[in-house]
């Protein structure tokens, strides 16, 4: 069955809110407000995000209502050192029962466990596509064999692998170079590239990066901390949407934050 991307890509572009950091990083990213999953769901709803990406436990205990749900199917903590492996924590069937519009899966390309993550991914991808669910791969080059996880070559390789494996969307880090990103996006072919946010940066710098990323041909953003750590996340959402869907400049977009 052809995966149905239209719920996540309403304007041809997408703005996805990511909230799986509690598992990946621990509550260190959170404050008194954003530690509460309900706060994030309200941001996703009121900010009209195209989707919210969470782990199974959050989706079970905090219904997301009409916000399209991306269920993250694997994950790991940062407590374990050594070569990264992210085990499956939720099945495609469970994701469907929870109302998911898409599923997400992290691959640490270059890790000693890459082969295991490829074969886990391949099963998930087959099952999800049988049910018409799009598959988003969080593609992060990691492990001893990766010398520079943000180099043009490494990121282009990661993007290409996402296409070869059958991902509909790949979520990747941006290395700050728009020319590199153009090549990376070309390497991903018909797999859509969305950019991850990273740690919180000064808003005007962040909006400039978002603008560069979109001009380079990215399909959108799948970000967390730069939105829900911001004192006014809904204004940040408006600023981001102005750039992503309305082709506004960073100077125009920053006005939403003033």
Give catalytic residues, as residue numbers: 140, 171
Nearer Cβ to ligand FBP (130/219)? 219
Minimum distance between the CB of residue 1 and ligand FBP, rounded to whole angstroms?
Answer: 26
- Distance of alpha carbon 92 from alpha carbon 187, whole angstroms: 28
Looking at residues 54 to 113 of the shown chain, list those that interact with ligand FBP (rule: CB under 6 A).
Answer: none
- Distance of alpha carbon 117 from alpha carbon 86, whole angstroms: 7
**CA dist 190 to 11, 72, 81, 169, 228, Å?**
17, 22, 35, 9, 30
* Of the residues 225, 230, 241, 248, which one makes contact with ligand FBP according to CB under 6 A: 225
Taking residues 180 to 199 in sequence order and writing x for each that binds ligand FBP by CB under 6 A, - otherwise, the string is ----------------xxx-
Minimum distance between the CB of residue 172 and ligand FBP, rounded to whole angstroms?
Answer: 9
* Of the residues 37, 110, 203, 224, which one makes contact with ligand FBP according to CB under 6 A: 224
Q: Determine if residue 202 is left, alpha or beta; phi over 0 gives left, psi from -120 to 50 gives alpha, anything else beta.
A: beta
- Distance of alpha carbon 191 from alpha carbon 168, whole angstroms: 5
Nearer Cβ to ligand FBP (36/132)? 36
Half-sphere exposure (CA, 13 Å, Cβ side) for 5?
15
* Of the residues 223, 236, 239, 240, which one makes contact with ligand FBP according to CB under 6 A: 223
Minimum distance between the CB of residue 229 and ligand FBP, rounded to whole angstroms?
Answer: 8
Q: What residues form DSSP beta bridges with 53?
A: 18, 70
* Of the residues 138, 174, 206, 256, which one makes contact with ligand FBP according to CB under 6 A: 138
Count of positions on this chain that bind ligand FBP (CB under 6 A): 13
- What sign has the CA pseudo-torsion 222, 228, 230, 234? positive
Instruction: Spell out the residues 6+ positions from residue 240 whose beta carbon is closer than 8 angstroms to its own.
Output: 15, 207, 210, 221, 227, 253
Looking at residues 6 to 45 of the shown chain, list those that interact with ligand FBP (rule: CB under 6 A).
Answer: 18, 20-21, 24-25
- String of DSSP letters for 17-73: EE--HHHHT-GGG--TTTTSHHHHHHHHHHTT-SEEEE-HHHHHHS--TTSPEEEE-
Instruction: Determine the interface stretch with ligand FBP among 43-51, 152-160, 207-215, 220-228 (rule: CB under 6 A).
Output: 220-228
Instruction: Determine the interface stretch with ligand FBP among 88-96, 129-137, 222-230, 245-253 (rule: CB under 6 A).
Output: 222-230
Nearer Cβ to ligand FBP (55/187)? 55
In which residue are the tokens 């005007």 written?
204
Nearer Cβ to ligand FBP (24/127)? 24
Nearer Cβ to ligand FBP (225/248)? 225
In which residue are the tokens 């400039």 written?
208
Q: Which residues are at the interface with ligand FBP (CB under 6 A)?
A: 18, 20-21, 24-25, 138, 140, 196-198, 223-225
């Amino acid at each position: 069955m052809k995966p149905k991307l239209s719920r996540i890509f309403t304007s041809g572009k997408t703005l996805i809110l990511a909230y799986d950091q509690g598992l990946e990083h621990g509550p260190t990213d959170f404050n008194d407000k954003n530690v509460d999953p309900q706060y994030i769901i309200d941001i996703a709803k009121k900010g009209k995000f195209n989707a919210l990406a969470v782990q199974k436990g959050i989706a079970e205990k905090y219904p997301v209502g009409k916000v399209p749900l991306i269920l993250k199917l694997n994950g790991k903590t940062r407590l374990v050192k050594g070569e990264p492996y992210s085990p499956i924590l939720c099945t495609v069937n469970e994701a469907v029962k929870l109302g998911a519009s898409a599923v997400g899966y992290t691959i640490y390309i270059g890790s000693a466990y890459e082969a295991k993550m490829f074969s886990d991914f391949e099963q998930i991808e087959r099952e999800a596509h049988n049910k018409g669910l799009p598959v988003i791969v969080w593609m992060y080059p990691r492990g001893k064999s990766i010398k520079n996880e943000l180099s043009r070559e490494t990121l282009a390789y990661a993007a290409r692998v996402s296409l070869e494996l059958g991902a509909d969307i790949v979520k990747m880090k941006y290395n700050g170079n728009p020319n590199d990103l153009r090549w990376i996006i070309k390497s991903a072919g018909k797999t859509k590239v969305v950019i991850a946010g990273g740690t919180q940066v000064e808003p005007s710098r962040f909006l400039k990066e978002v603008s560069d990323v979109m001009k380079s041909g990215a399909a959108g953003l799948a970000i967390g901390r730069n939105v829900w750590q911001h004192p006014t996340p809904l204004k940040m959402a408006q600023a981001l949407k102005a750039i992503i869907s309305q082709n506004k400049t960073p100077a125009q977009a920053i006005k939403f934050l003033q």
